[in-house]
Structure 1
Amino acid sequence: MKKLLALLLALVMVVALVACGSNGNETEAPTDASQPASDATENNDNTDNSDTPVGTDLKVAVFYYTYSDTYISSVRTALDAQLDALGVTYQDFDSNGNQTTQNEAIQTAIADGYNLLIVNMVTSGSSDTAKGIMELAGDVPVIFFNRAVDEDGVEASASVLNAYENIAFVGTDAPEAGHLQGKMIGEYVLEHYDELDLNGDGKISYAMFKGDEANVEAIYRTQYGVEDANAVLTAAGKPELVYFDANNTSGYQVDLNGQWSAAAALDYMNTNLSQYNEGNNNMIELIICNNDNMAEGCISALESAGYNNGTGKTIPVFGVDATDSAKELIANGKMTGTVKQDAEGMAAAIAQIAKAVGEGTALKDAVAATAESNTEMYSVAEGVATKLYVAYAPYTA
């Protein structure tokens, strides 16, 4: 009997050891309140155009300034698809427009073993914020994207991107969108001048909607969207555009929450139209927006006032991003033009750099290789070897 009991006890101990061993090899990805754990994805189906899956040692944490931004949402969809194709574990985080939330999520991801960070900073154009993130990251490489990591006017030698070895940036050449938009507007106004001049005063009055007071992209779009349009007009002997409200010395209305939102533009435009309209003989005759979200808000206000319904009178509205909804508005004759900010191109560049990092390539070399892979779409910034630009393009049809 004692031998039998001893044998049974030994068997119980073996089973217990096997059971314990089966629970020690899996870790869940970090999550936040807005992102379920199921969004941390490991997928090896390679349905995209990647040659081979990246090794499973690469764990990628992607931080978005907010999911609610239409353009950023497009980047997220495209980047998720690219990372799925690479077969790596990744996790998306929504910072909800809060830099503290983003920093805390970065700390969590580092603690949980994520070894590549892809960051869309909340506080755009802040070298202090970027440096803080780099200090949190330590030796973990960081790919910033879309939102500038330096203040406007910072020399290349002083850039955050030149201060660290394990850093890169994928974005756009900030002035380019403003230049393209301004040229597009100037040429359109010149071609349609008489029909746009609703009050017959020989000038075209415009409204300008700025997405964020401190954002470098917003600053240049606001500046060059008007300056370059005026250059086209004055070269042809026409007067410059006139801001509709002479009391507003800034020459724009800004989303005070920095969200570039349709709601902010809608509220502004409804108020504007209550005072500036054809009945008062001072109708706003042109609308320029820093992005397509704000353009959509303006169009909604115009539709409510009887304009931009696809037939009848249409006030020209210009934006930036070439979102799907903006393209549809243009196709339906409700919006005039936009500047394409290539979400798919940006996502593809980020994924290509991430793949190279996973294979042991230095970020500087990964950026150079990505630029060389498509010289029409990508270029490296002068003096900053880890800064990759994605080209803009005009879109009117």
Structure 2
Amino acid sequence: MGKMRVSSTFVAIIFMVNYLVGCTNNNEVYNNVEEIKIGVTVYKEDDKFISTITNNILELAKKKEKEENVKITIDILDAKENLANQCNQVDKFILNNYDVICVNIVDRTSAATIIDKAKSSNTPIIFFNREPVEEDMRRWKDVYYVGAEAEKSGELQGSLIIDKYTSDKSEIDKNGDGKIQYVMLEGEHGHQDTAIRTEYSIKTIVQNGIEVEKLADDTANWEFAQAKSKMTGWIKEFGSEIEVVFSNNDDMALGAIEALKEAEINNVIVVGVDGVTEALEAVKNDEMLGTVISNSIAQAEGIFNIAYSKATNGDLSDVEGLEGKYIKTKHIKIDKNNVDVYLK
């Protein structure tokens, strides 16, 4: 694990992103270039936030290649929301002697199987975005997790509504009954961020003395199309009663906005989480009140820095933000006042 041959000659820097699992030996030198092999398997490749993380990992690998004259192969595979696919992908990474495996797991409650595979092959494993339960994280010394502080994302989403309610109550409480009537678009069942963001966004508002009334909530599995469909149904059912749409992520928030546009409704407050570019643009264009950046760059840095360190010397003492087995990145609240800074 992490063994490399040091070339005595000037080395060419080659970056290869290979979506098919290769069959080269882990210690093979290609064109006199050192090689580190990092396997990445994601629950669903077309998830906007996850694809942002993986794209950032690729950029970090390119930068490190130039700095260190080392060939870094990043193989990114799509499990297509199928745990069996993902287990097979992990097996292929192990069979082909990858230095580190990074997993955005399909089912966070099933991490033990993957951890045991990694342990048996002595291959460090880094979970990201979907946190295994604590018991599974303790199964082996070389298991790590990189993600965000889910509680804080919910709190900051709630605070966006508090700020608006405080500055212009009538913009939210349109019927003047002293309550916020809302609907909640939830992420995938079983994902820790779904439960935590849902709970803390509302709890934060209530703790600040603002009454709320839930009209409806349902899962849309982080997806634009499902959220649009759910929102369309709620518009038909509740019409002008809906004052706020809470969404566990931006992609679902954007789906809700599309449904509102088609219904020619423009006075419903929508808030999301993630800070994807399309959501930031929606905030700038007054289609969303705000979002919460779930720093994909910081998360990618955490994943890559652990992986690179484990693949080289195994020393994690210089990995910024690592506390034991965990890196938990900070969130940033975004509204019309600061969105231009983050769009840049």
Shorter-chain TM range is: 0.7 to 0.9
Distance 1:36 1:353 in 2: 23
Cα gap change, 1:221/1:192 in structure 2, threshold over 3 Å: closer, same or farther? same
Distance 2:289 2:17 in 1: 43
1:182 maps to what in 2? 158
Residue-by-residue CA offset, 1:24-65 (whole Å, 9 max, x unaligned): xxxxx997xxx4579x9xxxxxxxxxxxxxx83421111111
- 1:219 equivalent among 175, 195, 198: 195
Q: How does 1:168-317 map to 2 (within 5 A)?
A: 168-232=144-208, 234=209, 239-245=210-216, 252-255=217-220, 259-278=221-240, 283-308=241-266, 314-317=267-270
Which one-letter code corresponds to 1:264 in the other structure? Q
Moved over 6 A (4+): none
Q: How does 1:113-152 map to 2 (within 5 A)?
A: 113-124=97-108, 126=109, 129-137=110-118, 138=120, 139-150=122-133
1:321 maps to what in 2? 274
2:342 is the alignment partner of 1:393: no
1:349 positional shift? 1.4
- 2:93 equivalent among 104, 109, 115: 109
Q: Is the CA contact (8 Å cut-off) linking 1:186 and 1:231 kept in structure 2? A: no
Tell which structure's C-alpha radius of gyration is larger.
1
1:147 positional shift? 0.6
Which one-letter code corresponds to 2:294 in the other structure? Q
Q: CA RMSD in A?
A: 2.2
Q: Is the CA contact (8 Å cut-off) linking 2:160 and 2:289 kept in structure 1? A: no
Q: Is the CA contact (8 Å cut-off) linking 1:178 and 1:223 kept in structure 2? A: yes
Q: Is the CA contact (8 Å cut-off) linking 1:287 and 1:317 kept in structure 2? A: yes
Q: Is the CA contact (8 Å cut-off) linking 1:197 and 1:285 kept in structure 2? A: yes
Gaps of 5+ in 1: 1-28, 41-54, 246-251, 309-313, 372-377
The structure whose residues are more often strand, as a share, is 2
Q: Share of identical aligned residues, percent? A: 26
- 1:74 equivalent among 52, 76, 79: 52
2:72 is the alignment partner of 1:88: yes
Q: Is the CA contact (8 Å cut-off) linking 2:222 and 2:252 kept in structure 1? A: yes
SS at match of 2:97: coil
Which one-letter code corresponds to 2:304 in the other structure? A
- 1:369 equivalent among 286, 302, 318: 318
Which one-letter code corresponds to 2:132 in the other structure? V
Distance 1:74 1:298 in 2: 21
Q: Is the CA contact (8 Å cut-off) linking 2:20 and 2:75 kept in structure 1? A: no
Gaps of 5+ in 2: 1-15, 25-32, 65-70, 340-344
SS at match of 1:204: strand
TM (norm. structure 1) is: 0.72
2:11 maps to what in 1? none
Q: Is the CA contact (8 Å cut-off) linking 1:244 and 1:284 kept in structure 2? A: yes
Distance 1:212 1:117 in 2: 24
SS at match of 2:106: coil
Cα gap change, 1:205/1:30 in structure 2, threshold over 3 Å: closer, same or farther? closer
Which one-letter code corresponds to 1:254 in the other structure? T
1:224 positional shift? 0.8
Which one-letter code corresponds to 1:71 in the other structure? F
Distance 1:62 1:103 in 2: 12
Distance 2:34 2:275 in 1: 35
Which one-letter code corresponds to 1:244 in the other structure? L
Distance 2:48 2:327 in 1: 22
SS at match of 1:276: helix
Residue-by-residue CA offset, 1:124-181 (whole Å, 9 max, x unaligned): 3x1xx2221111122111111111111xxx5xxxx32233122111112221211121
Q: Is the CA contact (8 Å cut-off) linking 2:21 and 2:93 kept in structure 1? A: no
Distance 1:37 1:147 in 2: 23
1:341 maps to what in 2? 294
Which one-letter code corresponds to 2:113 in the other structure? G
SS at match of 1:260: coil
